[in-house]
Amino acid sequence: MEETNPFAIAELVDNPEQRCPVVLVLDTSRSMQGKAIDELNAGIRQFADDLKADSLASLRVEVAIVTFGGNAQAIDVRQGHGAAIAPDPAVAFVPADTFSPPALRADGGTPMGDAVNLGLDLLRGRKAMYKNHGIPYFRPWLFLISDGEPTDQNWSAAADQARLEESLKGVSVFPIGVEKADMGPLAMFSSQRSPAKLTSIGEFQSLFRWLSGSLSAVANSRPGETVTLPNAGWAQIDPS
């Protein structure tokens, strides 16, 4: 991909730190309306605050958001208004220290497969940018959160691709089901871990605290070091 955004490239190369890219793939379908989307937004704000409080993680972790509510789209995380943007890895990712949580709204269907494909595309593009500019990076994370089941026809192919890339150590996928989510499809998106389940929407902030703590642990590690993630006490693990 041709890199044409001078500001984004300067932002990338002026920071000498090793990077840890993460894409949050978030269900914003109609079923998330009301308290669920409010709690999700609050959790993302907590996530941003926690990462900014860690001086090293704030420089090493890079965040992008993909939502799926009616369609799959990359979201602006620089301005905080939640607008859709072009799916360009040069602008979709921001360092955690400049991450501005968007105000997400819920509507539409649940094209989970399209959203995961978009998230994987963004991660591939971002890794290519790191390589082009000689920037070392940790294995990317894709965090998939949904309270429903996929409504797009290609979701199983997207799940196959996610599992393949994970088996090749190209990404770590963390599927999360909320309340009455169908855990069967979510389980298909990772080859390494069973989906975790939030027992209530009130657990979103605990979930995002775990995510920021886990990313901080990775960001503060040394290359090749095994990192023990915090215990996910906020969720139930589906053993199937």
The model's pLDDT over 205-227, given as tens digits with 9 standing for 90+, comes to 899 999 999 999 999 987 677 78
| Average pLDDT across the chain, whole number | 90
pLDDT at site 7: 66
Q: What value does the mean pLDDT take over residues 6-35? A: 88
The residue that leads in pLDDT, 25 or 231, is: 25
pTM (2 decimals)?
A: 0.92
| Integer Rg of the chain from CA | 16
DSSP-H helix ranges across the chain: 6-13, 35-53, 57-60, 89-92, 112-132, 155-167, 183-187, 204-219
156 Cβ contact list (under 8 Å, min separation 6): 113, 188
Which of 83-97, 107-121, 202-216 bottoms out in mean pLDDT, i.e. has the lowest? Answer: 202-216
Rounded to an integer, what distance in angstroms lies between the CA atom of residue 26 and that of residue 45? 14
**CATH top-level class of 17-222+230-237:** alpha beta
**If you average pLDDT over residues 219-239, what whole number do you get?**
66
Question: What does the pLDDT read at residue 2?
Answer: 46
User: Is residue 178's pLDDT more than 70?
Assistant: yes
**How large is the average pLDDT for residues 68-80?**
94
